[in-house]
Amino acid sequence: MAQRDELQQLPGPAGIIEACWENAESGRGEWPQPLVAVIAHPHPLYGGAMDNKVVTTLARMYRRLGVSAVRFNFRGVGASAGSHDQGRGEVEDMLAVVHWAQARAPGSALLLAGYSFGSAIAAAASERAAARHLALVAPPVDRYPYAPGGDFRCPTTIVLGGADELVAVDEVSAWARQRSRVTGVIVLPEASHFFHGQLVALERELGTAVSAVLSADPS
């Protein structure tokens, strides 16, 4: 049996990037082509890292859908070299991980995801890497640029906590309705920004949405 989690050290623009590759669970999803998801963690200056519980929940969700998942630490976090770059270098970090993941799984379709600050990085990466789906969890759309061209470049699902103390749920929902490529806005009524006690619901609801997109005709 293949090892599920593999810690990796990848070459990145600021030096080594620490990452974890998680193999898809067999028999969970039979897709026409291999799929790999790259997941971005929350803000490094506030304790964000690839072992964050929301990030690991997203990785588990993808694995159970039959998608390999890659978590990684931005520059200056854990064993990743460099220092925080206000979101600029972090986009380059994510793109380096994307390129590595797709080289490891040739012919794979790309899924992108991010939580909080990481959702802004994932959205920016989606402008430069062709993705099949983008998942944004608790996106602070008033603090970072999202869809600078007016809309996203791939189907996008947004997850919000109804009790989020940092992100204005109604404002983000209204903003999302103006973008045709947002295929769903999921609001978990009892979830805070940190999704305490709501990880099972997060995995269930977002997993259903991602599966629906993957089952649709990509054309």
Q: Supply the CATH number for residue 27's domain.
A: 3.40.50.1820
Q: Give the domain range for residue 109.
A: 5-215
Output b/e per residue, 86-106; b: 16+ Cβ within 10 A. ebebbbbbbbbbbebbbeebe
pTM over 0.85: yes
- Tell me the Cα Rg of the chain: 16
Output b/e per residue, 127-163; b: 16+ Cβ within 10 A. eebebbbbbbbbbbbeeeebbeeeebbbbbbbbbbee
Give the angle subtended at the CA of 217 by the CAs of 213 and 219, to the nearest 5°.
110
Could you tell me which of 116, 31, 38, 99 has the C-alpha nearest to residue 73?
A: 38
Q: Are 38 and 70 in contact (CB under 8 A)?
A: yes
Instruction: Write the single-letter amino acid at 180.
Output: S
Q: Are 141 and 148 in contact (CB under 8 A)?
A: no
Residue 41: what pLDDT? Answer: 98
Q: Are 117 and 140 in contact (CB under 8 A)?
A: yes
202: which 2 tokens?
Answer: 């997060």
Question: pLDDT tens for residues 17-76?
Answer: 999 999 999 766 678 899 999 999 999 999 999 999 999 999 999 999 999 999 999 999
Could you tell me which of 168, 177, 16, 150 has the C-alpha nearest to residue 81?
A: 16
Question: Rounded CA gap, 164 and 6, in Å?
Answer: 33
Residues in a beta bridge with 5: 22
Per residue of the chain (219 residues), give pLDDT as tens.
445 789 999 999 999 999 999 999 976 667 889 999 999 999 999 999 999 999 999 999 999 999 999 999 999 999 999 999 999 999 999 999 999 999 999 999 999 999 999 999 999 999 999 999 999 999 999 999 999 999 999 999 999 999 999 999 999 999 999 999 999 999 999 999 999 999 999 999 999 999 999 998 665
Domain tally, the chain: 1
Instruction: Give 118-142 as a 3 state SS string.
Output: HHHHHHHHHCCCCCCEEEEECCCCC
